[in-house]
Amino acid sequence: MFHRSRRNLARWFTWSMGSILVSFASAVYCIEVQDQLTSFDQALLDKIQVMAASVEYRYHRGNWELNLEHVPLLGSNSLPLDSNLVYARWYNERGQLVQFVGAFPSEQLEEQPTFQTIRLSEESSELLRQVTFPVTHHQILIGYLQVAISLSPVQEAIAQMRLFLSVGVPVALGAITLTGWYLGGRAMYPIRNAYDHLQRFTANASHELRSPLSAILSNAQVGLILPMGDGQIQRDRLSQIVKTAKEMSQLVDQLLFLSRSTEYLSPEVLKQFDFGVWLENLAVDYAPKLEAQQLQLQTQFPLIPVLICADPDLLRQAIVNLLDNACKYTPAGGQVCLRLSTSVRFATLEIADNGIGIPPGDLPHIFERFYRVDSARNPETGGFGLGLSIVDQIVKVHRGQIRVSSTVNRGTTFTLEFPLL
């Protein structure tokens, strides 16, 4: 599925970018041809204007008499070897040929546009650019000057441009195809990760829910087949069902919490408060549980106010999860430390214990959902493996950061950072 999607992305990218490239190359080619022809026509026009300005004429006995001897090319009756002119012709005002040099012309000037691209003969492959220029004196037409120049320089320039495009465009299309394939892979990478993550999440949730459901079903079936008079055994079965149902309810609540995809909290649920005072109250509330497990709580809070903006309920859930883990994995007589400090921009909270620690190989994965350090996945010690995932999500929605460091048999320290106001 992902390879097909990647191919489709690469194909659409190549088609779209290739269409843009071909359209752009076509437009550049047309503009270049037009520019070359315009420059060539302007040079030809300048040349014929110089020739027209050299025409000498006089009005004698009711007719215009012309002297073309001083007209460049026409006056010499031959084309210079270094000239690219193919022919030059002079027609009178009635369009009749008077004088020419170069290729033999028609006797009568045919009506035609000023600039024209022609072939000297049907057999010739050379293209000529011909211009027919009317010559006037005091707004009276006295004749037509017609010259033609080979279009070879323009054809050579256009041929080079065409060769460059015919080679460059396919090479660029190949590069676009490779780029599309690479970008398609990059685009599919997070989608594939999300898909794999969803698959793992679904499989783990199904696995976690299957066990309590089986327990409820077996206890209910056993309770149904027992004799009606054995009330104590039935009560034990019902108690086991209630306990399992509570665990399922807790698991479902955690899954619902993790399914919330909000990137950040809405401003309505955020409150500004003194983090130090708030932690002192939390430590007082949590102290009885630590004492019941014969653990010592050490606190260290700054004397100055530490103002943050957070959801107190979510923050309490995150810190209680970490304290629960500290209690769970610290033997009796151990210590749990709660330290708060500040820097320029952040409030830093450390929750440390001197318990059994976390193996180095498990540290990169402890915030993954359903990940347990205990390979046996004993619910009595490992829970559902969602507690630290919830803590990580709560810290992130508060724009904070969480780090962990641990040494086996020496303890674990979780460091939480929250932006200061």
pLDDT for the residue 268: 78
Q: Are 283 and 397 in contact (CB under 8 A)?
A: no
**What pLDDT band is residue 79 in, cutting at 50, 70 and 90?**
low
**What pLDDT band is residue 205 in, cutting at 50, 70 and 90?**
confident
Handedness of CA 260, 262, 266, 272 (dihedral sign): positive
Residue 232 within a domain: no
Gap between the Cα atoms of 201 and 185, Å rounded: 24
pLDDT for the residue 337: 94
Burial (Cβ within 10 Å: 0-12, 13-18, ≥19) of residue 337: middle
Burial (Cβ within 10 Å: 0-12, 13-18, ≥19) of residue 389: buried
pLDDT in tens, 266-278: 777 789 999 999 9
What letter does residue 135 receive in the DSSP assignment? E
Gap between the Cα atoms of 43 and 47, Å rounded: 6
Q: Which of 29-33, 37-41, 72-76, 281-285 has the lowest mean pLDDT?
A: 72-76
Residue 136 within a domain: yes
CATH number at residue 100: 3.30.450
The pTM for the full model equals 0.54
CATH number at residue 310: 3.30.565.10
Residue 203 within a domain: no
pLDDT for the residue 117: 86
Residue 377 has pLDDT above 50, yes or no: no
Residue where a domain stops, chosen among 100, 131, 157: 157
Angle between helices 231-259 and 152-225 (to 10 degrees): 160
pLDDT for the residue 378: 46
CA of residue 76 relative to chain centroid, distance: 70
Kind and range of the H or E run holding 153 = helix 152-225
Residue 393 within a domain: yes
Total domains present in the chain: 2
Helices and strands of the chain, counted as H and E runs: 7, 14
Question: 240-249: long-range contacts (C-beta < 8 A, 24 or more apart)?
Answer: 240/215, 241/215, 241/216, 244/212, 244/215, 244/216, 244/219, 245/212, 245/216, 247/212, 247/379, 248/209, 248/212, 248/213, 248/216
Residue 204 within a domain: no
Q: Are strands 296-300 and 335-342 parallel, antiparallel or unpaired?
A: parallel
Residues 193-197, mean pLDDT to the nearest whole number: 78
Q: Are residues 407 and 278 in the same domain?
A: yes
Q: Are residues 150 and 299 in the same domain?
A: no
Residues 6+ apart with CB under 8 A from 13: 176, 179, 180, 183, 184
Nearest to 117 by CA among 125, 127, 126, 109: 127
Residue 380 within a domain: yes
Q: Are residues 139 and 271 in the same domain?
A: no
Q: Are residues 271 and 412 in the same domain?
A: yes
Residue 215 within a domain: no
Residue 397 has pLDDT above 80, yes or no: yes
Residue where a domain stops, chosen among 128, 157, 186: 157
Residue 196 within a domain: no
Residue where a domain stops, chosen among 157, 189, 222: 157
Domain that holds residue 23: 1-157
3-state secondary structure of 32: helix
Q: Are residues 287 and 144 in the same domain?
A: no
pLDDT for the residue 206: 79
pLDDT in tens, 130-156: 888 888 877 778 788 888 888 888 888
Gap between the Cα atoms of 218 and 237, Å rounded: 9
pLDDT in tens, 8-61: 888 898 899 999 999 999 999 999 999 998 998 888 888 888 877 777 766 666
pLDDT for the residue 263: 63
Give whole-number Cα distances, 407 to 184, 363, 402, 413, in Å: 42, 10, 17, 9
Q: Are 146 and 132 in contact (CB under 8 A)?
A: yes
